Amino acid sequence: MNQDIERVKVLIIGSGPAGYTAAIYASRAGLNPVLYTGGQPGGQLTITTDVENYPGYPDGIMGPEMMEDFRKQAERFGTKVRYGMVTAVDFSQTPYVVTVDEQVTVHADTVIISTGASAKWLGLDSETRLNGKGVSACAVCDGFFFRGQDVAIVGAGDTACEEASYLANICSKVYMIVRRDEMRASQIMQNRVMNNPKIEILWNTETEEILGEEEVTGARVINNVTHQKRELKISGFFVAIGHQPNTSVFKDFIHMDESGYIKTIPGSTKTNVEGVFACGDAQDHIYRQAVTAAGTGCMAALDAERFLAALENH
Protein backbone atom coordinates (compact mmCIF):
# COMPACT_ATOMS: atom_id res chain seq x y z
CA MET A 1 0.00 0.00 0.00
CA ASN A 2 1.37 3.41 -0.98
CA GLN A 3 2.13 5.39 2.20
CA ASP A 4 1.67 8.70 0.37
CA ILE A 5 -2.06 8.32 -0.13
CA GLU A 6 -3.95 11.42 0.99
CA ARG A 7 -7.72 11.59 1.41
CA VAL A 8 -9.41 14.86 0.42
CA LYS A 9 -13.02 15.96 0.15
CA VAL A 10 -12.55 18.20 -2.88
CA LEU A 11 -9.67 17.88 -5.31
CA ILE A 12 -9.34 20.68 -7.86
CA ILE A 13 -7.22 19.97 -10.94
CA GLY A 14 -5.97 23.13 -12.65
CA SER A 15 -5.22 26.68 -11.58
CA GLY A 16 -6.76 29.23 -13.92
CA PRO A 17 -9.71 31.50 -13.05
CA ALA A 18 -12.03 28.46 -12.93
CA GLY A 19 -9.87 26.38 -10.59
CA TYR A 20 -9.06 29.22 -8.23
CA THR A 21 -12.68 30.41 -8.05
CA ALA A 22 -13.80 26.86 -7.28
CA ALA A 23 -11.14 26.80 -4.56
CA ILE A 24 -12.36 30.10 -3.03
CA TYR A 25 -15.94 28.80 -2.82
CA ALA A 26 -15.02 25.30 -1.64
CA SER A 27 -12.64 26.55 1.04
CA ARG A 28 -15.16 29.09 2.36
CA ALA A 29 -17.67 26.24 2.60
CA GLY A 30 -15.26 24.42 4.90
CA LEU A 31 -14.46 21.67 2.40
CA ASN A 32 -10.64 22.03 2.74
CA PRO A 33 -9.92 21.74 -1.00
CA VAL A 34 -6.55 20.72 -2.39
CA LEU A 35 -5.65 22.28 -5.75
CA TYR A 36 -2.97 20.99 -8.09
CA THR A 37 -1.74 23.71 -10.43
CA GLY A 38 -0.83 21.63 -13.51
CA GLY A 39 2.06 22.43 -15.81
CA GLN A 40 1.15 26.11 -16.33
CA PRO A 41 0.18 27.58 -12.93
CA GLY A 42 -2.33 30.35 -13.58
CA GLY A 43 -3.28 28.92 -16.97
CA GLN A 44 -3.59 30.88 -20.21
CA LEU A 45 -3.78 34.20 -18.39
CA THR A 46 -0.12 33.92 -17.47
CA ILE A 47 0.78 34.44 -21.13
CA THR A 48 -1.58 37.42 -21.42
CA THR A 49 -0.15 40.82 -20.64
CA ASP A 50 -2.92 43.34 -19.95
CA VAL A 51 -6.36 42.16 -18.85
CA GLU A 52 -8.80 45.05 -19.21
CA ASN A 53 -12.13 43.26 -19.46
CA TYR A 54 -12.34 41.61 -16.04
CA PRO A 55 -14.75 43.49 -13.75
CA GLY A 56 -13.25 45.09 -10.64
CA TYR A 57 -9.94 46.14 -12.16
CA PRO A 58 -10.75 49.63 -13.48
CA ASP A 59 -7.17 50.30 -14.59
CA GLY A 60 -6.61 46.81 -15.99
CA ILE A 61 -4.17 44.27 -14.58
CA MET A 62 -1.41 42.04 -15.89
CA GLY A 63 -2.58 38.43 -16.37
CA PRO A 64 0.08 36.83 -14.12
CA GLU A 65 -0.61 39.38 -11.36
CA MET A 66 -4.33 38.70 -11.54
CA MET A 67 -3.77 34.97 -11.15
CA GLU A 68 -1.53 35.71 -8.17
CA ASP A 69 -4.47 37.62 -6.61
CA PHE A 70 -6.78 34.66 -7.26
CA ARG A 71 -4.29 32.26 -5.66
CA LYS A 72 -3.78 34.41 -2.56
CA GLN A 73 -7.54 34.70 -2.09
CA ALA A 74 -7.97 30.91 -2.33
CA GLU A 75 -5.12 30.33 0.12
CA ARG A 76 -6.47 32.90 2.55
CA PHE A 77 -9.53 30.70 3.10
CA GLY A 78 -7.44 27.56 3.53
CA THR A 79 -7.00 26.06 0.05
CA LYS A 80 -3.85 23.96 -0.16
CA VAL A 81 -2.24 24.94 -3.48
CA ARG A 82 0.32 22.42 -4.71
CA TYR A 83 2.56 22.35 -7.76
CA GLY A 84 2.13 19.17 -9.76
CA MET A 85 0.62 17.61 -12.82
CA VAL A 86 -2.13 15.00 -12.71
CA THR A 87 -0.78 12.07 -14.73
CA ALA A 88 -3.49 9.41 -14.20
CA VAL A 89 -7.00 9.07 -12.81
CA ASP A 90 -9.30 6.20 -11.90
CA PHE A 91 -12.92 7.29 -11.68
CA SER A 92 -14.28 3.72 -11.70
CA GLN A 93 -14.49 3.55 -7.90
CA THR A 94 -15.02 5.88 -4.96
CA PRO A 95 -13.12 7.55 -3.50
CA TYR A 96 -11.65 8.59 -6.84
CA VAL A 97 -7.98 7.82 -7.32
CA VAL A 98 -5.79 10.55 -8.79
CA THR A 99 -2.06 10.24 -9.41
CA VAL A 100 0.13 13.33 -9.44
CA ASP A 101 3.53 13.40 -11.19
CA GLU A 102 3.33 9.61 -11.48
CA GLN A 103 4.12 9.16 -7.79
CA VAL A 104 1.72 10.87 -5.36
CA THR A 105 -1.70 9.24 -4.93
CA VAL A 106 -4.72 11.23 -3.79
CA HIS A 107 -8.10 9.77 -2.86
CA ALA A 108 -10.87 12.30 -3.47
CA ASP A 109 -14.57 12.27 -2.60
CA THR A 110 -15.21 14.80 -5.37
CA VAL A 111 -13.08 16.08 -8.22
CA ILE A 112 -13.35 19.44 -10.00
CA ILE A 113 -11.67 19.44 -13.41
CA SER A 114 -10.45 22.91 -14.42
CA THR A 115 -7.53 21.98 -16.66
CA GLY A 116 -8.37 24.57 -19.32
CA ALA A 117 -7.33 24.53 -22.94
CA SER A 118 -4.16 25.55 -24.75
CA ALA A 119 -4.10 27.65 -27.88
CA LYS A 120 -2.66 25.96 -30.95
CA TRP A 121 0.26 27.90 -32.40
CA LEU A 122 2.03 27.98 -35.77
CA GLY A 123 5.34 26.93 -34.19
CA LEU A 124 7.49 29.86 -35.31
CA ASP A 125 10.33 31.08 -33.09
CA SER A 126 9.31 34.68 -33.74
CA GLU A 127 5.77 33.83 -32.60
CA THR A 128 7.06 32.59 -29.24
CA ARG A 129 9.44 35.52 -28.84
CA LEU A 130 6.77 38.14 -29.58
CA ASN A 131 3.98 36.42 -27.65
CA GLY A 132 2.28 39.12 -25.58
CA LYS A 133 4.15 41.81 -27.54
CA GLY A 134 1.73 41.92 -30.45
CA VAL A 135 1.21 38.17 -30.94
CA SER A 136 -1.99 36.86 -29.38
CA ALA A 137 -4.35 33.89 -29.58
CA CYS A 138 -7.39 35.88 -28.47
CA ALA A 139 -8.72 38.79 -30.50
CA VAL A 140 -11.54 39.46 -28.04
CA CYS A 141 -8.99 39.75 -25.19
CA ASP A 142 -6.33 41.78 -26.97
CA GLY A 143 -7.86 43.39 -30.07
CA PHE A 144 -8.60 46.61 -28.18
CA PHE A 145 -4.87 47.39 -27.91
CA PHE A 146 -4.68 47.65 -31.71
CA ARG A 147 -7.54 50.09 -32.20
CA GLY A 148 -7.08 52.00 -35.48
CA GLN A 149 -4.05 49.92 -36.51
CA ASP A 150 -3.37 47.25 -39.16
CA VAL A 151 -3.38 43.62 -37.98
CA ALA A 152 -3.31 40.09 -39.36
CA ILE A 153 -5.15 36.95 -38.28
CA VAL A 154 -4.36 33.35 -39.22
CA GLY A 155 -7.15 30.80 -39.53
CA ALA A 156 -10.04 29.63 -41.67
CA GLY A 157 -12.70 28.38 -39.27
CA ASP A 158 -15.73 30.03 -37.69
CA THR A 159 -13.65 31.39 -34.80
CA ALA A 160 -11.14 32.98 -37.18
CA CYS A 161 -13.96 34.61 -39.16
CA GLU A 162 -15.65 35.80 -35.98
CA GLU A 163 -12.40 37.27 -34.66
CA ALA A 164 -11.56 38.86 -38.04
CA SER A 165 -14.99 40.55 -38.03
CA TYR A 166 -14.45 41.67 -34.43
CA LEU A 167 -11.03 43.13 -35.31
CA ALA A 168 -12.45 44.87 -38.40
CA ASN A 169 -14.78 46.83 -36.09
CA ILE A 170 -11.87 48.37 -34.20
CA CYS A 171 -8.81 48.14 -36.49
CA SER A 172 -8.22 50.02 -39.71
CA LYS A 173 -7.26 46.93 -41.74
CA VAL A 174 -7.30 43.15 -41.19
CA TYR A 175 -5.31 40.71 -43.30
CA MET A 176 -6.79 37.22 -43.03
CA ILE A 177 -4.18 34.57 -43.78
CA VAL A 178 -5.75 31.36 -45.11
CA ARG A 179 -3.55 28.37 -45.92
CA ARG A 180 -5.77 26.84 -48.60
CA ASP A 181 -7.98 28.21 -51.38
CA GLU A 182 -11.09 27.69 -49.25
CA MET A 183 -12.27 28.08 -45.66
CA ARG A 184 -13.62 25.58 -43.15
CA ALA A 185 -15.98 28.20 -41.75
CA SER A 186 -19.75 28.06 -42.25
CA GLN A 187 -21.04 29.87 -45.31
CA ILE A 188 -22.63 32.69 -43.32
CA MET A 189 -19.33 33.44 -41.56
CA GLN A 190 -17.39 33.30 -44.84
CA ASN A 191 -19.80 35.76 -46.43
CA ARG A 192 -19.37 38.10 -43.50
CA VAL A 193 -15.59 38.38 -43.91
CA MET A 194 -15.65 38.38 -47.70
CA ASN A 195 -18.09 41.27 -47.76
CA ASN A 196 -16.22 43.35 -45.20
CA PRO A 197 -14.19 46.06 -46.99
CA LYS A 198 -11.68 46.23 -44.13
CA ILE A 199 -10.75 42.53 -44.41
CA GLU A 200 -8.34 41.38 -47.10
CA ILE A 201 -8.19 37.60 -47.44
CA LEU A 202 -4.85 36.17 -48.53
CA TRP A 203 -5.64 32.73 -49.97
CA ASN A 204 -3.06 29.89 -50.24
CA THR A 205 -0.86 31.84 -47.87
CA GLU A 206 1.35 30.85 -44.95
CA THR A 207 3.34 32.87 -42.46
CA GLU A 208 7.12 32.54 -42.73
CA GLU A 209 8.13 35.01 -40.05
CA ILE A 210 6.65 37.56 -37.67
CA LEU A 211 8.81 40.68 -37.83
CA GLY A 212 9.91 42.98 -35.03
CA GLU A 213 12.41 43.11 -32.18
CA GLU A 214 10.56 44.36 -29.10
CA GLU A 215 7.11 44.33 -30.64
CA VAL A 216 5.40 43.19 -33.84
CA THR A 217 6.11 45.48 -36.82
CA GLY A 218 5.13 43.17 -39.66
CA ALA A 219 4.83 39.64 -41.03
CA ARG A 220 6.46 37.94 -43.98
CA VAL A 221 4.05 35.64 -45.80
CA ILE A 222 4.43 33.35 -48.79
CA ASN A 223 1.88 32.19 -51.33
CA ASN A 224 2.23 28.41 -51.36
CA VAL A 225 1.11 28.17 -55.01
CA THR A 226 3.08 30.99 -56.68
CA HIS A 227 5.84 31.05 -53.97
CA GLN A 228 5.62 34.80 -54.05
CA LYS A 229 6.60 36.51 -50.79
CA ARG A 230 5.07 39.62 -49.31
CA GLU A 231 5.69 41.72 -46.23
CA LEU A 232 2.64 42.99 -44.36
CA LYS A 233 3.04 46.11 -42.22
CA ILE A 234 1.10 45.26 -39.05
CA SER A 235 1.33 45.83 -35.31
CA GLY A 236 -0.83 42.90 -34.18
CA PHE A 237 -0.70 39.23 -35.20
CA PHE A 238 -3.54 36.94 -34.10
CA VAL A 239 -3.52 33.16 -34.29
CA ALA A 240 -6.98 31.56 -34.53
CA ILE A 241 -6.27 27.98 -35.55
CA GLY A 242 -8.05 26.44 -32.58
CA HIS A 243 -7.55 25.35 -29.01
CA GLN A 244 -6.73 21.97 -27.54
CA PRO A 245 -8.51 21.18 -24.26
CA ASN A 246 -6.14 19.68 -21.67
CA THR A 247 -8.38 16.72 -20.97
CA SER A 248 -6.69 13.63 -22.43
CA VAL A 249 -5.88 12.19 -18.98
CA PHE A 250 -9.65 11.83 -18.30
CA LYS A 251 -10.66 10.26 -21.63
CA ASP A 252 -11.24 6.72 -20.32
CA PHE A 253 -13.91 7.88 -17.87
CA ILE A 254 -15.40 11.23 -18.89
CA HIS A 255 -17.66 11.89 -21.89
CA MET A 256 -16.23 14.45 -24.30
CA ASP A 257 -17.06 15.88 -27.70
CA GLU A 258 -14.97 15.07 -30.78
CA SER A 259 -12.52 17.89 -29.97
CA GLY A 260 -11.90 16.69 -26.42
CA TYR A 261 -14.05 19.24 -24.57
CA ILE A 262 -15.77 17.70 -21.54
CA LYS A 263 -19.54 17.38 -21.83
CA THR A 264 -21.42 18.76 -18.85
CA ILE A 265 -25.12 18.43 -18.07
CA PRO A 266 -26.71 21.73 -19.19
CA GLY A 267 -27.27 24.16 -16.34
CA SER A 268 -24.63 22.46 -14.20
CA THR A 269 -20.99 21.42 -14.14
CA LYS A 270 -21.86 17.73 -13.70
CA THR A 271 -20.12 15.17 -15.91
CA ASN A 272 -21.24 11.61 -16.64
CA VAL A 273 -19.40 10.48 -13.47
CA GLU A 274 -21.24 11.37 -10.26
CA GLY A 275 -19.11 13.57 -8.07
CA VAL A 276 -16.81 14.68 -10.89
CA PHE A 277 -17.41 18.22 -12.12
CA ALA A 278 -15.87 20.23 -14.96
CA CYS A 279 -15.55 23.99 -15.35
CA GLY A 280 -13.69 26.62 -17.35
CA ASP A 281 -12.18 26.14 -20.79
CA ALA A 282 -11.90 22.37 -20.37
CA GLN A 283 -15.66 22.31 -21.05
CA ASP A 284 -16.31 25.69 -22.70
CA HIS A 285 -15.20 26.18 -26.29
CA ILE A 286 -17.64 29.00 -26.98
CA TYR A 287 -16.90 31.90 -24.62
CA ARG A 288 -13.39 31.16 -23.32
CA GLN A 289 -13.11 34.27 -21.14
CA ALA A 290 -11.63 34.62 -17.66
CA VAL A 291 -14.93 35.89 -16.28
CA THR A 292 -17.00 33.01 -17.70
CA ALA A 293 -14.42 30.50 -16.47
CA ALA A 294 -14.60 32.00 -12.98
CA GLY A 295 -18.41 31.76 -13.12
CA THR A 296 -18.35 28.05 -13.91
CA GLY A 297 -15.70 27.54 -11.20
CA CYS A 298 -18.18 28.94 -8.69
CA MET A 299 -20.87 26.59 -10.08
CA ALA A 300 -18.57 23.56 -9.78
CA ALA A 301 -17.79 24.29 -6.13
CA LEU A 302 -21.49 24.69 -5.31
CA ASP A 303 -22.31 21.47 -7.21
CA ALA A 304 -19.57 19.63 -5.29
CA GLU A 305 -20.78 21.03 -1.97
CA ARG A 306 -24.36 19.85 -2.65
CA PHE A 307 -23.10 16.45 -3.78
CA LEU A 308 -21.13 15.99 -0.53
CA ALA A 309 -24.08 17.18 1.58
CA ALA A 310 -26.35 14.62 -0.12
CA LEU A 311 -23.77 11.87 0.58
CA GLU A 312 -23.66 12.73 4.27
CA ASN A 313 -27.45 12.68 4.55
CA HIS A 314 -27.66 9.15 3.16
Domain boundary among 222, 239, 256: 239
Same domain, 43 and 74: yes
Q: Please tell me which residue in 50, 59, 109, 138 is annotated as part of the active site.
A: 138
Same domain, 269 and 184: no
Residue from 69, 68, 71, 70 nearest 81 by CA: 71
Same domain, 232 and 256: no
Note the pTM of the prediction, 2 decimals.
0.83
Q: Please tell me which residue in 101, 109, 125, 141 is annotated as part of the active site.
A: 141
Same domain, 66 and 136: no
**Within a domain: 21:** yes
At 125, which helix (H) or strand (E)? helix 125-129
Same domain, 108 and 140: no
Q: Please, what's the b/e burial string for 218-253 (b: 16 or more CB within 10 A of its CB; e: otherwise)?
A: bbebbeeeeeeeeebebbbbbbbbbbebbbebbeee
Q: Please tell me which residue in 69, 101, 109, 142 is annotated as part of the active site.
A: 142
**Within a domain: 171:** yes
**Within a domain: 1:** no
SS3 (DSSP) at 163: helix
Catalytic-residue membership of 279: no
- Tens digits of residue pLDDT in 107-147: 999 999 999 999 899 999 999 999 989 999 989 889 999 99
Domain encompassing residue 25:
6-118+243-313
Same domain, 187 and 235: yes
Angle (deg, nearest 10), helices 290-313 and 17-28: 40
**Within a domain: 272:** yes
Q: What is the mean pLDDT of the chain?
A: 94
Min mean pLDDT across 26-35, 56-65, 171-180, 273-282 is at 56-65
> If you count DSSP H runs as helices and E runs as strands, how many of each does the chain have, helices first?
7, 19
Q: What type of residue sits at position 34?
A: V
Same domain, 139 and 280: no
The predicted structure's pLDDT at residue 46? 76
Domain boundary among 206, 239, 272: 239
Give the Cα separation of 168 and 236 in Å (integer).
Answer: 13
Domain boundary among 210, 239, 268: 239
Taken in order 126, 131, 132, 135, the sign of the CA dihedral is positive
* Overall domain count for the chain: 2
Same domain, 189 and 258: no
The predicted structure's pLDDT at residue 1? 44
**Within a domain: 109:** yes
Same domain, 258 and 216: no
The predicted structure's pLDDT at residue 4? 67
CATH number at residue 26: 3.50.50.60
